[in-house]
Chains A and B, each alone.
Chain A
């Protein structure tokens, strides 16, 4: 089982703000990275480090961290943001990467 815990499903009304969280002890030492995955497609990096967006990722995506919890916030969610979102960090030993179980985001 994953040492990073995510809510299985979250929903948001179109244009509203949603926060997707990831909990784990390793997050006290390491920032999470976040990935968006749409059906039938490979994951895409959306946030890494303290709050960095790769080129091409809209600025409505942002990241934050507090204690053992990392958060991905989408401000003004769009229909195209409907997807599975995965957090990633190191495991508790700090040696290996580890993914959260994923959160299915539904945009209503």
Chain B
């Protein structure tokens, strides 16, 4: 069974740091792009970062320079290092496996999510 399990969420003060982890199983982790997507309470989905099979990384402007995505293929693990956290970063963070075709892309499956709360 293909499965993604996130961990590492919690309460952190503004300006603080947190590292999220995502453990993958049931597929050849090294062969897939991986993503982080977040969702603030009652809000929509927001793409946060991506890492390709070659280790190339991508970020939206809202987190670029503060968040770092990485992977450790030997451990089938994905990470998100979050620095300089702000109240606006409060959300459930999901990891998701990415797929790309010529004219489309999609995320499947998704983990169950881990809650990050940035508050003093």
How many residues of A are counted as interface, with CB atoms below 8 angstroms from the partner's CB atoms? 28
Q: Taking A86-B45, A96-B58, A97-B47 as contacts, is the C-beta distance between A44 and B103 under 8 angstroms?
A: no
Q: Which residues of A pack against B, CB within 8 Å?
A: 2, 29-33, 35, 37, 42-45, 48-50, 54, 86, 88-90, 95-102
- The A/B interface has a contact count, at CB < 8 Å, of 71
**CB-CB nearest in chain B for A45:** B108
Closest A residue, CB atoms, query B94: A42
Chain B 36-89 residues near chain A, CB threshold 8 A: 37, 44-47, 50, 58, 60
Residue of A nearest to B46 (CB): A99
Q: Known contacts A43-B110, A96-B60, A97-B50: does B105 contact A30 (CB below 8 Å)?
A: yes
| B1 at the binding interface (Cβ < 8 Å) | no
**Extra pairs beyond A35-B45, A102-B44 (4, CB < 8 Å):** A32-B104, A43-B107, A48-B104, A97-B105
Kindly identify which residue among A42, A49, A54, A89 contacts B101, using a CB–CB cutoff of 8 Å.
A49
Inter-chain CA distance A43–B35, complex, in Å, is 14
Which residues on the B side are within 8 Å of A45 (C-beta)?
106-109
